[in-house]
Structure 1
Amino acid sequence: MQPMNKAWCVQIDVTNYCVRSCLYCSRYNRDLRPDQRAHMPVETFSAALRSLRHWPGKIGVIGGEPLLHPEFKTLNALLRRHFPPHHSLRARLAALLKRRPLPANKKLGLWTSGLPGTPLADPRHDPDIAATYGFIAYNPHDAEQMKKCRHQPLTVAIREAVPDEALMWQLIDNCWVQRTWCPSITHKGAYFCEVAAAQDILLNDGANAWPIEPGWWSAPPNSREFLAQKEALCPNCGMAIPMERELLLKQSEKISPQLLEAFRARKLKRIHEQDVEIFSGTFSKEELQQNILSWYPGNYREDVKPDEQAREGRGFPGELR
């Protein structure tokens, strides 16, 4: 696995409330009980920003749907205070002469689907958002996406689908999510992986979270705390399995038997017969290697470009050992 401080971005999950219920959501939003949903307290958000003071990459605000946070504008004000853009005198004068606002800090990003039926249906032109975020990842999850986009079946636990333990850890250690997505801070604490963070809230009430302290993101992959999170959470995830993805239009999710048992023990949502498709199969090394050749799990916007043009979408680098 790559060191966290080499990631291009860190995500702050400010809420796990959402207006959508997407197939294989990376935040398990379909499965959360109502009492598991929470907005990040402003005090926790402030602590998250302090912990990232020397973070070298970009900083994202995500959810759920972050626009649902009841104090979203307060969060934006805190972001601008902690990470103000540094504009040259020439840029300031040019903006003044042209009567245009200065651009926001390019270090800050917002991941959103918008709020349908409101002025924030497409939030890219909202003045407060434009003044805060240097880039916006707008993903509307519209009807076209539902017909074309495919998500990785994260509810197939790799420990069940890949019984060869050495092979399982090889796949986990090269997981495309950890290589191309982000470390994360939630209302429970900090994590090396954003999907692991969501799973820990779902199954363990955040028991594996790290304290939100300055420099938490500097822990190397071989450190005790990093290994503890990885060993507790990664075996229950399906993101690292080279297997067929599923169209968003589909209503039921593949889930492995032991993970379904854990979901039912936790009285999670979407666990009834009409909601799930039990996946009890296993993969051999040969099958996985063959699957790798056409596996593009990171290309979750197939409505934008086909797999073959999405280099960042390739799931496994090279061949299995």
Structure 2
Amino acid sequence: MSEHDPRNLSHPRPETMMLGHGYDPFLSEGSVKPPVFLTSTFVFRCAEDGKRFFELAYGLKEKDPGEVPGLIYSRINNPDLEILENRLAVWERTEKALIFASGMAAISSTVLAHLVPGEQVVATTPVYGGTHYFLSKMLPRWGMGVRWIHAGSGFCDALEATLAEPDCKARMVYLETPANPVNLMTDLKRCVEICARYGTPERRVLLVVDNTFLGPVFQQPLLLGADISVYSATKFIGGHSDVVAGAVLGREELVKPVAEMRNILGNMASPFDCWLLMRSLETVGIRMRQQQTNARAVVRMLKSHEAVRAVYYPGELDEEQDRIWREQCSGSGSLIAFDV
């Protein structure tokens, strides 16, 4: 999958847009960089404006064409939050992004926003430990369930068999690809087709992809047909070990319920964390490509080491896994697993 066509000069590369997209310096005393907006509350021009802004934020009314919701309260929106969300959406070529206080805040809010009691999520295993705990231990408290299927080349066949069961209540498929920590790839395009086949116009089967390992540079699940992309932004997006954050991206109609959940749970990122992530987005492409170069050198070393039995790295697995990787990724990233 091509990451960017350099011949198309009508659209700047995402790296270029990270420098100024979504920010007007003349609204902030001419400051070249966005300030940190450390305020709890924003002023309304009139009570009617305040009422309208709250109605939009809580989903009580629909936006008019071209209407831009106003700032209210930093639990709901903040300039740093909104600028960052606009910039991250550029990387995955999508309509909307939401920033959270952690990856688990993003993941849990997404699941809770789209499932109701009695429904299930089908998820890949292995999976990040926090995600596994939330799906297996916490979802049942709200009357929801999880079905586990092993990640990798056999996932799609097992998924289709699961969704075809008469009593299957799955309304979400949750993937990590590559899977944490063994880098197993799952065929996103085929998962999209299966979810479309077993959903209904009234109640779709949503495909949610944790894109932490390869995104936003080497994999864009939304372009392949996935419904929602989630991240621990702490890892590669943040990249400096000085901020904990998460993200949710997708079409506005699918992200809107997650935004409403975030407004009530209050688990959005702080203005300063958003400012740090804006800084990080300016170099995420450079950092991830250099990390990949370093990782490939480590993979070569591990493959030649007498104590290493096997190496698990995207593009260096079996024929079927490599086919999936070639079709949906533009790089391998920097996460490596190996047996000794």
TM-score higher than 0.5 here? Answer: no
| TM-score of the superposed pair, with normalisation by structure 2 | 0.25
| TM-score of the superposed pair, with normalisation by structure 1 | 0.26
